[in-house]
Each structure stands twice: as structure tokens, then as C-alpha cells.
Structure 1
Amino acid sequence: MRVCICAVGRLRAGPERALIDDYLKRFDRTGRGLGLGPAQVIEVEDRKGGGMSAEAALLARAVPGGATICALDERGAVMTSPVFAQMLAGWRDQGRGDVAFVIGGADGIAPDLRARADAALSFGQMVWPHMLARVMLAEQLYRAASILAGSPYHRA
């Protein structure tokens, strides 16, 4: 199952980019034998300043056709890493070819795109910068693959 992180904004070279690249490389390596991956990041940018609705249109175009959509949203489910791993495994086992994790801009994800999502995930009640949300998602993808592989990376 291919994984796509569709996010608003361009991430420049720096520590966040290095962390994302490292975790997604680890995810690809660990997930390959589990039927997970590869993972890619698709960045969109609303250059015309159209707000959440314009960002939602760009994000919707970035999502692969037929993909399961998981919105990263403060109203989403807060789950443990093992539960997240089982959600990924469930989608894979259902034969879903693609899953797209959608990360909005500073104002979040437009309600219409949020309503189209098959699932919504929250990293807690605190607000996180969307660039850090990408890092956290990349790490959780790697952690999920590690859990499913029985690797000692995750210590519950």
C-alpha cells in the first residue's frame, strides 16, 4: 500500500526536512516486506491566497485517485501507536492501494475536504505547527511499520 503525505506549504532544507526524509526512508525499508510503502510527500501551495477552500482544492488534486484519505485534524481520533499501526494494517489487508494523509495549512483543512476523509487523526489537544506535524506523522509511519514487523523500536 503506497503512502502519500499531501501537505500545504513547501518545506525547505533543514532539520525538519532531514527528519522527514530519514523516517520515510526507514518506513520504506521496514514496510517493504509488510506490503507498506513506498511513501512520498506531495506539497501544494496556494500562491493566490484563496484560503482554506483553495488549499483544499489543491490537496484534493494531490490525493491519488481512489486513495483512502486520512485527515490530520484537531477533531480527529487520538490513538496509540499500536492502534495506528493496526489501522494501517487494516487498510492494507482490505486491499487499499493508496492512503493519503492530508495536512492543511495554518487554518486547517476545509470542512468539505475533511468530510470526504475516511478517517481523521489528531496528535493531541495541543496545536502543532504543520511542519512538525509532518515530522510526527513520518515518525509514526515508521513506528507503525516497526510494530507490525515486531521490531524492538517501539517499546510500549
Structure 2
Amino acid sequence: MLLHIVARGKIGSSPEAELVDRYLKRIQWPTKVTELPETGGTIPALPANSVTIVLDERGKSLSSTGLSKSLETWRDGGKREARFMIGAHSGHDEEQRTSADLLLSFGSATWPHLLVRAMLAEQLFRATSILANHPYHREG
């Protein structure tokens, strides 16, 4: 299953970009990042049998283990892509929020898109590590 991050805003060459690259390179699953301008731009077509996860402060907070269980369910259910949508400073429109398969929150605080991208990349690495029984994630 492809883990696809679609993010508003350009990350450029920054410490956050280095973190994103570091974590995505460590993930054993296929990954992809698509950057869009702050407004407009064309969101790539979503393949059939895929899921859309919209990052939103009003969404559901999942533990790392909870995220890994969701990924496992989608993967084992034959989903082709898990698309993670990171919005611009104004967030997502109501249509994107209501059409999402999951609204995912990293807490009630508003985070800059550069940090959200790095946090998401780390959580995806952690979740896939949990599924692979890799020691990166230790409970307790």
C-alpha cells in the first residue's frame, strides 16, 4: 500500500524537510509526497480502493499503535493507497473534511504545515515499524 502525503505549501530545503526525508527513507512501504500551492493546484486523482486521511485539529487523536492498526486494516483489506492530506494555514474545506475516511488530529493545537509533515512522516515510520515488530517503538 502506498503511503501518500499530499501537502499544501512548499517545504523547500529546511531542517523540517531533512526530517521528513529521513523518516520516509526508513519506511519499508512505498511512499510519495505531493506538494501543492497554498491555494489551487490539482490534487492527484485518488486510485480506486484507497483511503483518504485528512489531518485536522478537530479530528480523532490516535496513538501510534492505533495508527498502525488502521494501516494494517487498510493494507490487509487491499487498499491501494492511504492518502494523508495536510492543509494550508486555513485548513481544509468542509467538502474535504466530510468526504475523508478519517479525520486525524495531532492534538487541538494548530501546527505549521512544515512541522505537521515531519510529525506525520515520523508517525508513519513508527506505525510501520510497529507492524514489522521493529524495536523503534517500545511500549511501557
Q: TM-score, normalised by structure 2?
A: 0.93
Residue 105 of structure 1: how far off its partner (Å)? 0.1
Q: Which runs of 4+ in 1 moved over 6 A?
A: none
Higher helix content, 1 or 2? 1
- Counterpart in 2 of 1:44? 36
Q: Is the 8 A contact 1:85 1:147 kept in 2?
A: yes
Structure 1 gap ranges (5+) = 29-36
| Letter matched to residue 3 of structure 1 | L
RMSD of Structure 2 on Structure 1 (CA): 1.3
TM-score, normalized by length of structure 1?
0.84
Identity %: 42
Cα distance in 1 for residues equivalent to 2:51 and 2:62: 18
Aligned partners of 2:47 and 2:80 also within 8 Å: no
Q: What is the aligned partner in structure 1 of residue 19 from structure 2?
A: 19
State the distance in 2 between where 1:24 and 1:63 align: 22
1:62 aligns with 44
Partner of 1:34: none
Structure 2 unaligned blocks of 5 or more = none
Q: CA deviation at 1:62?
A: 2.3
C-alpha distance in 1 between matches for 2:44 and 2:106: 23
Q: 1:101 aligned to 84, 104, 110, which one?
A: 84
Q: Check the 8 A contact 1:63/1:100 in 2, yes or no.
A: no
The Cα offsets for residues 47-74 of structure 1, whole Å up to 9 and x where unpaired, read as xxxx5xx46xx3xx22532231000001
In the alignment, the residues of structure 1 paired with residue 122 and residue 44 of structure 2 have an alpha-carbon distance, to the nearest angstrom, of 22
Letter in 1 for 2:104: L
Equivalent residue, structure 2, for 1:154: 137
